[in-house]
């Protein structure tokens, strides 16, 4: 290891994922340690177990009246470790620093104290290192410890915008952010805010300071009242609205992909004529207005009342791929006539699991003749009823040549095998695809030639 060329050793360190692994390499090799100052990234992720173990040792020690002051005697401070790393690196292009947050089932009492040792969006801490590394910095990611940061408003956005004029990608998580005294960041093209309390109710400062964003992720951003995204260069947007603002507006003339998730806004307005992919997920919607979609091809709808949402979309003739999902507790009967009126030219149709329970047989004279591919997620609780629904879809989508059905992993193998055999015998000319689905897991597909063997040998653990 000590005979490695320094250039090769630096290349090896540069390919590692995190600073913890880099530290192990430095301890194991003088060569790695000597080339470390040339490294261009820091990725320091503080594990929750380290914090909990430290608290446990402090609480069990004598004279532990001040938990925050005593904890440093047992575990090195995240901030001290990070500042030491920064002081040894000369040309940082990427900084990622984060704290693992407790899962939802852990009570705040198990992790909460009055300390700020893990409050990494604290402007006092950021001032210690950001000005020195900001010149070459292109990526910055700060994922705070919500237990400490949720009660402390941070002006870190002002600091970042003042020092990081060459920053391209910014990610901030688990923090309460002020927006006063922010400067414009014209170089920034990618922004992610996740689990953020933002003091910008209408996103006024937001639109002014990030004019050239191309990728935007607003995941669980709170404190919004009548938010409007108005970004001329935006191409991809994922917006999860946790609050229930009365009005949501998106004006993005170059937007290609939009995923919008919200509860029950009173009205949504979208002006994105070039949008190609649209995913809407919401509980209920009163008003929906769109300045005409000119190029929309792929649509996924998830709603408690899917019929009502489809009718609000009016006629979308350019859409080719449609996926429908109904939220838990939803109740909205619909049939293919509803789809035909709104999406007359779809070629690919997908039903998620809950859609089947609300699907009604339609006895119209004109089916969805353009549909060539159909995909369905099945629970097969009642095999006869499920078969009848599949039969209905194929009768009305009479030009369908390719059908893919995914059966829930929990369905007994003998039920699945009987259902599959019956479908393939009923429609032998179709191209079949079979798979397995389960909540929280990736879909798994089974090649047709392997299907009988898989069913017999793997049993209920397969399908």
Report pLDDT digits (tens) over 309-368: 888 888 899 999 999 998 766 666 777 777 888 899 999 999 998 888 777 655 555 556
Instruction: For residue 47, give Cα distances in angstroms to 113, 118, 442.
Output: 17, 11, 26
Place of tokens 């009642």: 382
Give pLDDT < 70 ranges for the chain.
1-39, 50, 54-76, 103-113, 328-332, 360-368, 448-463
- Backbone phi, psi, residue 372, to 5°: -105, -25
Say how far apart CA 451 and CA 445 lie, in whole Å.
10
- Find the distance separating the first CA and the last CA of the chain, reported in whole Å: 49
pTM: 0.84
Sequence-distant (6+) residues with CB within 8 A of 341 are 315
**pLDDT tens, residue by residue, 62-109:** 555 454 444 444 345 888 888 888 887 778 888 999 998 876 555 454
Give the side-chain half-sphere CA count within 13 A for 387. Answer: 16
Whether the CB-CB separation of 412 and 460 falls below 8 Å is answered with yes
pLDDT for position 300 = 96
pLDDT at site 436: 92
Write down the pLDDT at residue 37.
58
Closest CA to 157 of 187, 121, 189: 121
Partners of 184 in the β-ladder: none
Quick one: tokens of 240? 């999860």
CA 203 to the chain's CA centroid: 21
Rg (CA), the chain: 27
């Amino acid at each position: 290891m000590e005979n490695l060329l320094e250039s090769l050793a630096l290349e090896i360190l540069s390919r590692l994922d995190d600073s913890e692994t880099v530290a192990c390499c430095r301890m194991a090799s003088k060569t790695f340690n000597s080339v470390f100052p040339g490294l261009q990234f820091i990725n320091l992720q503080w594990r929750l177990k380290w914090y909990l173990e430290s608290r446990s040792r402090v609480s069990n020690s004598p004279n532990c009246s001040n938990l925050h002051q005593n904890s440093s005697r047992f575990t090195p401070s995240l901030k001290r470790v990070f500042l030491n790393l920064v002081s040894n690196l000369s040309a940082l292009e990427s900084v990622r620093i984060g704290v693992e947050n407790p899962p939802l089932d852990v009570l705040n009492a198990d992790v909460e104290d009055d300390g700020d040792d893990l409050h990494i969006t604290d402007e006092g801490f950021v001032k210690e290192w950001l000005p020195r590394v900001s010149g070459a910095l292109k990526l910055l990611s700060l994922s705070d410890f919500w237990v400490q940061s949720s009660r402390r408003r941070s002006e870190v956005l002002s600091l970042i915008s003042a020092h990081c004029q060459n920053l391209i990608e910014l990610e901030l998580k688990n923090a309460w952010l002020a927006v006063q005294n922010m400067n414009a960041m014209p170089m920034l093209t990618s922004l992610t805010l996740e689990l953020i309390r933002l003091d910008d109710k209408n996103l006024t400062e937001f639109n002014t300071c990030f004019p050239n964003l191309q990728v935007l992720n607003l995941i669980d951003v709170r404190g919004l009242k009548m938010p409007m995204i108005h970004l001329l260069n935006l191409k991809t947007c994922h917006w999860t609205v946790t609050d229930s603002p009365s009005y949501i507006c998106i004006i993005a003339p170059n937007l290609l992909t939009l995923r919008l998730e919200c509860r029950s806004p009173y009205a949504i307005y979208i002006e994105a004529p070039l949008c190609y992919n649209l995913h809407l997920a919401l509980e209920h919607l009163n008003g929906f207005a769109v300045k005409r979609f000119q190029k929309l091809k792929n649509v996924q709808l998830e709603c408690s009342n899917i019929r009502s949402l489809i009718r609000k979309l009016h006629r979308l003739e350019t859409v080719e791929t449609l996926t429908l999902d109904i939220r838990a507790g939803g109740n909205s009967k619909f049939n293919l006539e509803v789809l035909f009126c709104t999406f007359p030219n779809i070629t690919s149709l997908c039903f998620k699991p809950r859609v089947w329970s609300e699907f009604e047989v339609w006895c119209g004279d004109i089916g969805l003749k353009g549909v060539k591919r159909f995909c369905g997620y099945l629970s097969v609780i009642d095999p006869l009823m499920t078969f009848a629904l599949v039969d209905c879809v194929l009768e009305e989508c009479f030009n369908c040549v390719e059908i893919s059905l995914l059966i829930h992993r929990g369905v007994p193998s003998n039920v699945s095998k009987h259902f599959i055999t019956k479908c393939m015998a009923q429609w032998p000319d179709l191209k079949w695809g079979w798979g397995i689905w389960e909540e929280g897991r990736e879909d798994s597909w089974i090649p047709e030639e392997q299907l009988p063997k898989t069913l017999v040998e793997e049993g209920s653990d397969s399908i």
